[in-house]
Amino acid sequence: MKENKTGMRKSKKAKKDREIATPKEIASRIKNTSEIIVKEIKSNKDPSFTTMQRGKGNVVWDEQKRYLGLGEKTIVRNFLNVAHARKFMQTSMIMAKTNEYLLQNKTASIREIYYELKHTIEGTKENTFEGQGESDPVIVDLEHSVNTIREKLNLHANPKGTLYGNILLKDKMHFNDKFNASKLGRGGWSIMSRIEPEEIELLETDAEYLLVVETEAMFERLIEEGFPKKNKCLLIGVGGQAARGARRLIHRVHNEMEMPVYVFTDGDPYGWYIYSVIKQGSMALAAHSEFMSVPDAKYIGMTLDDVETYKLKNVTENMKEGDIKRAKEMIEYPWFQNKEWKRQLEKALKEKIRIEQQALANRKLDFVATTYLPEKIGKKDFLP
């Protein structure tokens, strides 16, 4: 962390190899994979494509790194297998197309690459891809096969999430624009789906922590109350479950700006799971935890203790069927095996109530900005 005279901190370069892999390097990995396939073909072998097995069966909790990771199980897909041939073809097409994007410095949404590759196979009535449902999993296969994330294949999904606060960013793909995320109006900056360092550079900030909030409404409330400026913090609204772009940005701000991350969600199993995904990754994207998780993140609230501390009993709601089911699952997760969270989840299952972030308005509209958050952060009253 370097501080200059104005109190602004400069970004620290990402340290890990995988994170700074350039498009050129990713392209060469694709080329490598393809050359192995061609070599197999030339030497009369059934060509194969190897990727990681995904899903519950191959997700492991990495005690040391404190995030969900992918196990060692791989899948080999052979061309000369009736069940694999079509997917083998689709994989080769996605490889060729992403290779092209990388070399031409183009990016595309996963919907666009699907449309670009969809056509009728010559001499048949069969399409190369029958729907995006067929191309999306092939993209995930390739991500795992060349050991990267789709953002580095110059692909992106739909953007979601907003950033606000005193941080200077540079968009290298757009005239090298420099902009401050606190000077774009009250709406802040829409976090793009793809925010790799090759595109968006984090330059400098004076913020002391990053506050992630679940709802857009809370995000707006805090800006209206001038919270980020008064408390020297950055604000990210994730709007429910955090999208890849938002998670990647939280990860990068945390690592590159060496900034603590605090998460503020509704006080229910769904909100706590949002926190859990930001902190230690998700089952579905276990392989990408390295790029996206923030194991040091802390949880502010809402907790069921807040209900008593801040006298909110009259604005609680009953937990729904799905909340109860999720709480029962979460209590078994290895990463919730600490006494604070166990207590919290047991309490939820016992009282069967939930509390929303915005229920704090019951005390007063600005209560969250003037009292709740400053008190909690000041006392470091967090859940791990």
Partner 1 sequence: MSKNQEENVSNTSLEQDATKLDLSFKEHSIAEFFKKNKQMLGFYGKVRTLTMIVHEYVTNSLDACEETGTLPNIDVKIDELGNEYYEITVTDNGPGISKENVGKAFGKLLAGTKFHRLIQSRGQQGIGCSGCTMLSQMTTGKASKIITGRKEKKPISLEITIDPKTNEPKITNLKELEKNFVGTAVQAKFKGILYRDSEQGPLEYLKRTAIANPHAQLSFRDPQGQKTIFKRTHDKVPDLPKEIKPHPKGVTVDEIITMVKTTKARTVQSFIMNDFDRTGTKSIQEMKKIINFDLNKDPKKIVWDEAEEIVKAFKAIDFIAPSVDALRPIGEEQINKSLNSIIKPEFLTVLTRKPAVYAGGFPFQIEIAIAYGGESGKVTSDGKKMEIMRFANRVPLPFDAGNCALTHAVQSIDWKRYNIKDAENSPVTVFINFISVHIPYTGAGKQSVADEEEVLEEVRLALMNTGRRAGIYISHKKKEEENQLKRKMFYKYIPEIARALNSITKVNEEEIKSKMEKLVLEKLKLDEAKDAEEMKKLEEIMENDSKSSVNNENKKKGKKK
Active site residues: 115
Nearer to partner 1 by Cβ, of 87 and 363: the residue is 87
Piece of the chain touching partner 1 by CB under 8 A; list 41-49, 306-314, 315-323, 367-375 = 41-49
Could you tell me the smallest distance in angstroms from the CB atom of residue 54 to partner 1? 23
| 76 forms part of the interface with partner 1 (CB under 8 A) | no
Measure the CA–CA gap between 161 and 244, rounded to whole angstroms. Answer: 10
Are the C-beta atoms of 255 and 12 separated by less than 8 Å?
yes
Out of 60, 76, 85, 283, point to the residue binding partner 1 (CB under 8 A).
Answer: 85
| 86 forms part of the interface with partner 1 (CB under 8 A) | yes
> 263 in helix, strand or coil?
strand
Axis-axis angle for helices 110-117, 132-145 (nearest 10): 110
Out of 41, 60, 76, 283, point to the residue binding partner 1 (CB under 8 A).
Answer: 41
Are the C-beta atoms of 354 and 316 separated by less than 8 Å?
yes
| 118 forms part of the interface with partner 1 (CB under 8 A) | no
Nearer to partner 1 by Cβ, of 100 and 199: the residue is 100
| 109 forms part of the interface with partner 1 (CB under 8 A) | no
| 1 forms part of the interface with partner 1 (CB under 8 A) | no
Out of 63, 82, 332, 339, point to the residue binding partner 1 (CB under 8 A).
Answer: 82
Measure the CA–CA gap between 277 and 322, rounded to whole angstroms. Answer: 18
Could you tell me the smallest distance in angstroms from the CB atom of residue 156 to partner 1? 22
Strands of the chain (E only): list them.
2-3, 9-10, 48-52, 59-62, 67-70, 74-78, 108-109, 155-156, 162-164, 167-171, 177-180, 189-190, 200-205, 209-213, 233-237, 261-264, 298-301, 317-318, 353-354
The residues of the shown chain that bind partner 1, judged by CB under 8 A, are: 30-31, 34-35, 37-38, 41-42, 44, 46-47, 79-80, 82, 85-86, 88-89, 92-93, 95-96, 99-100, 121-124, 126, 128
